[in-house]
Structure 1
Amino acid sequence: MHQESKHIDILIADDEALARKRIVKFLSESNIDCSFTEASSGKEALTYINNQKIDLVFLDIKMTDMNGFELLKQLPEEKIPIIIFVTAFDVFAVQAFEVQAIDFLLKPYKKDRFYEALDRGLKQLKLEQHTIFQHKVSRLIESMQDIDHLESKNHIDTLVLKSKKKYYFLQVSDIKYIKSASYYAEIYTKTDERHVHRISMTDLIAKLDPTMFFRVNRSVIVHKSFIQEVISEGIGDYSVIMNDKVSFVLSKKYRYEFLKRMGIK
């Protein structure tokens, strides 16, 4: 990143302490002259923005007390700072950002992507494009016809995947199974495509519909609709056969829950 001479006051608004800690780490490792404040709720973030000089905000879309858009609706346009939205898997939000050409960080993001977003935010401040940005945010809020949609359900219908500089929207219903590959998930679709996504299996299964996606072992998640048969191998061992003939071992840890959900006694 290039050196900025002006001191920047930054607010990190996220209800997850680890997420805030990561941003603090990246800011501390940068060469910009900045001070930062942390807010663990939307209400706390609102107080800081209203009562302190805040130049730039890293704003998590989903916080426990309110989402980022609800927070912005409570601010007069002239009080809106430069904002870098932070979101995980929210297609609705991502599409809205793309339309308004507003920058965002899609969790889990890499260090380079963080600095890229930060650099853009700093350039907007430097070039005095603050008013233009405020108008963009106002249009974004107006375009949100159903803000409650962001909190309407606990699982996702679409997975946002990044390929180079493009975002690809994969329908979750098209996923046959997912295999773990170190820090990545290998996602296989019904059209035999393979996508690689940087996320842990634990984080990914938490986003998927629990009535349709089952973990069969530590390294594999399967979609119920694509299971062809479950074979008892004897002594309590089972194999899960998918409709493309790929077979997975059902491990002891996940056996009871899987068989129960599949209606196998």
Structure 2
Amino acid sequence: MLKAIVIDDELFAREELIEQLNEIGHIEVIAECGNAIDGLKQINQLKPDVVFLDIQMPKITGMDLISMLDPDTMPNVVFVTAYDEFAVKAFEDNAFDYLLKPIEPCRLKKTVKRLLAAGTKQDLSPIAQTKIELIPCSGHNRILLLPAQDLEVASIQASGVQLLTKTETACTQLTLKVLEEKTPLIRCHRQFLINPHFIREIKLHDNGTSDIVTQSGHIAQVSRRYLKEIKERLGIQH
């Protein structure tokens, strides 16, 4: 039995797909989400085998969501879309499975059969975006979309990955690895990323440790491993 999450902003479309999957069997729908931000959280928490993902969603699209997932832990994805000639061609060229709305039961049965027989994970890198412009954050009964260019520090905290900008403190479901690869942030410590554009000062301590202070006064730890690289990047010789 495969575990699945259905992500679609249309309630009727979600309910119809879940009903069809229940009738076919072999797949247990463990969660349903009406937007990509909730979907990202549920994928990271529940770690499904497969995600049925709508492409056309407001704010954060299905393609945006693909780019936010860690390739090392990414589930298989079945794309769900109203007919789009270019999107469908991209899926076919890269051998990705897709379902056209309205979903035909016989087509869905073929997809389920293919999923049950799949022995390897998909490589979604050919269609994943190389940069993320907006970072979804949640907490305190609100959802934020922070521009990636505004991020000053990212760090691993007890509550998850914490992001700091000049005016905001928020948590995201994105991993440091994804943030490092797809935003302006660079690694300065195993648990910290820093935006080099916002570095105001590097404090060198007597015990060999260092801290970076940003223009807004945020502090990020710097490990010896990354100090030399950061100095070179800033044109500091010593």
2:22 counterpart (21, 28, 33): 28
Q: Which residue identity lines up with residue 128 of structure 2 in the other structure? A: I
Deviation at 1:102, TM superposition (A): 0.6
Report matched runs for 1:161-180 at 5 Å. Answer: none
Paired with 1:102 and 1:39, the residues of 2 have a C-alpha distance of 22
RMSD, aligned α-carbons: 2.0
Paired with 2:25 and 2:68, the residues of 1 have a C-alpha distance of 33
Report matched runs for 1:1-265 at 5 Å. Answer: 7-32=1-26, 34-124=28-118, 127=119, 129-130=120-121, 133=122, 135=123, 137-141=124-128
Matched positions, count:
132
Deviation at 1:33, TM superposition (A): 5.3
Paired with 2:99 and 2:22, the residues of 1 have a C-alpha distance of 18
Q: Which residue identity lines up with residue 141 of structure 1 in the other structure? A: A
Answer whether contact 2:4 2:28 (CA < 8 A) is retained: yes
Unaligned runs of 5+ in 2: 134-238
Paired with 1:33 and 1:14, the residues of 2 have a C-alpha distance of 17
Q: Report the structure, 1 or 2, having the larger helix content.
A: 1
Paired with 1:9 and 1:65, the residues of 2 have a C-alpha distance of 27
Taking structure 1 as reference, are residues 21 and 33 closer, same or farther at Cα in structure 2, changes over 3 Å only?
closer
1:83-109 per-position Cα deviation (integer Å, ceiling 9, x unaligned)? 110010222211110110111001122
Select the structure with the greater relative contact order (CA < 8 A; seq sep ≥ 6): 2
Paired with 1:26 and 1:36, the residues of 2 have a C-alpha distance of 15
Paired with 1:97 and 1:33, the residues of 2 have a C-alpha distance of 22
Deviation at 1:22, TM superposition (A): 0.8
Q: Find the residue that maps to 1:108 and give its secondary structure.
A: coil
1:94-127 per-position Cα deviation (integer Å, ceiling 9, x unaligned)? 1110110111001122110111112212221xx2
Answer whether contact 2:52 2:80 (CA < 8 A) is retained: yes
Answer whether contact 2:6 2:29 (CA < 8 A) is retained: no
Q: Find the residue that maps to 2:32 and give its secondary structure.
A: strand
Q: Which residue identity lines up with residue 53 of structure 1 in the other structure? A: K
Answer whether contact 1:84 1:121 (CA < 8 A) is retained: no
Taking structure 1 as reference, are residues 17 and 78 closer, same or farther at Cα in structure 2, changes over 3 Å only?
same
Answer whether contact 2:36 2:65 (CA < 8 A) is retained: yes
Sequence identity, in percent? 33
Taking structure 1 as reference, are residues 72 and 33 closer, same or farther at Cα in structure 2, changes over 3 Å only?
closer
TM-score under structure 1 length normalisation:
0.47
Paired with 1:33 and 1:83, the residues of 2 have a C-alpha distance of 14
Q: Which residue identity lines up with residue 138 of structure 1 in the other structure? A: S
1:41-64 per-position Cα deviation (integer Å, ceiling 9, x unaligned)? 000100011111211110000112
Answer whether contact 2:21 2:27 (CA < 8 A) is retained: no
Answer whether contact 1:43 1:65 (CA < 8 A) is retained: no
Paired with 1:110 and 1:33, the residues of 2 have a C-alpha distance of 17
